[in-house]
Structures are given as structure tokens and as C-alpha cells.
Amino acid sequence: AQKITQTQPGMFVQEKEAVTLDCTYDTSDPSYGLFWYKQPSSGEMIFLIYQGSYDQQNATEGRYSLNFQKARKSANLVISASQLGDSAMYFCAMREGKGSQGNLIFGKGTKLSVKP
């Protein structure tokens, strides 16, 4: 079974609108971390936001927020006020167990296209 599932291979959003990218995860470990990375066409992986399994509040970083629903095992990324530069692949990833040093397990990604 897949650990990280991103069901949207591609998404379109109009510039200045908000968009939600879906991510569900599967783990039996009570302690885990969830991450979102952005990969523009140039190829680098850019860290966006982190949510810990014990965090009481949803994480926010500027225009990025994470809609964490623990019971549903979902960690959706919300990008507000989309910009043309947001067009990229977005990967959800999870780290489970092994303290803060465990390897990341990635989803297949969602390609976001922002339309002017």
C-alpha cells in the first residue's frame, strides 16, 4: 500500500485564487512528520511547510498553509493568492519513526499550473 497518496496528477488555478492540493498518508506510527516540497521546472526541491503529528495547530508559512486532518490522515496544502511563479510540481512527503532523522517517503506529486 502506498504511504503517501496524491490523487491529483494535475491542477489548474487562476492567478490570485486559492488552490488546495490533496495528500493522504498511511502510517501506524503515532509520531510522524509531514512535508510539502515544490519542484519548479528547473528541478530543485524547495521546502515549503512542515506539520508534526503532535502539532495542535495547522502549520502556516506565508501564503502556504497545511490543512491537517489527523483522523482522516490527510495533509492538504493550501496556496492562497496564487502567482504565476507557483506553477510547479508539488510533492507531499512523510517521515515516520526514527526521530527527526528518518528518510522521507514521497508521493507522486501534483503538477500545478497557474493561469494568468
Partner 1 sequence: EPEVTQTPSHQVTQMGQEVILRCVPISNHLYFYWYRQILGQKVEFLVSFYNNEISEKSEIFDDQFSVERPDGSNFTLKIRSTKLEDSAMYFCASTEVRDSLIHTDTQYFGPGTRLTVL
Interface ranges with partner 1 (CB under 8 A): 31-33, 35, 37, 42-47, 50, 52-53, 91, 93, 95, 98-109
Measured distance CA(75)–CA(69) in Å, rounded: 6
Of the candidates 13, 21, 5, 10, the residue with the CA atom closest to the CA atom of residue 76: 21
CA 30 to chain centre: 19
Tell me whether residue 17 or residue 29 sits nearer to partner 1 (CB atom): 29
Minimal distance, residue 51 CB to partner 1, in Å: 9
DSSP 90-115: EEEEEEESSTT-PPPEE---EEEEEE
Tell me whether residue 52 or residue 67 sits nearer to partner 1 (CB atom): 52
Residue with cell 503517501: 4
Minimal distance, residue 113 CB to partner 1, in Å: 16
Tell me whether residue 83 or residue 103 sits nearer to partner 1 (CB atom): 103
Minimal distance, residue 111 CB to partner 1, in Å: 10
Tell me whether residue 45 or residue 78 sits nearer to partner 1 (CB atom): 45
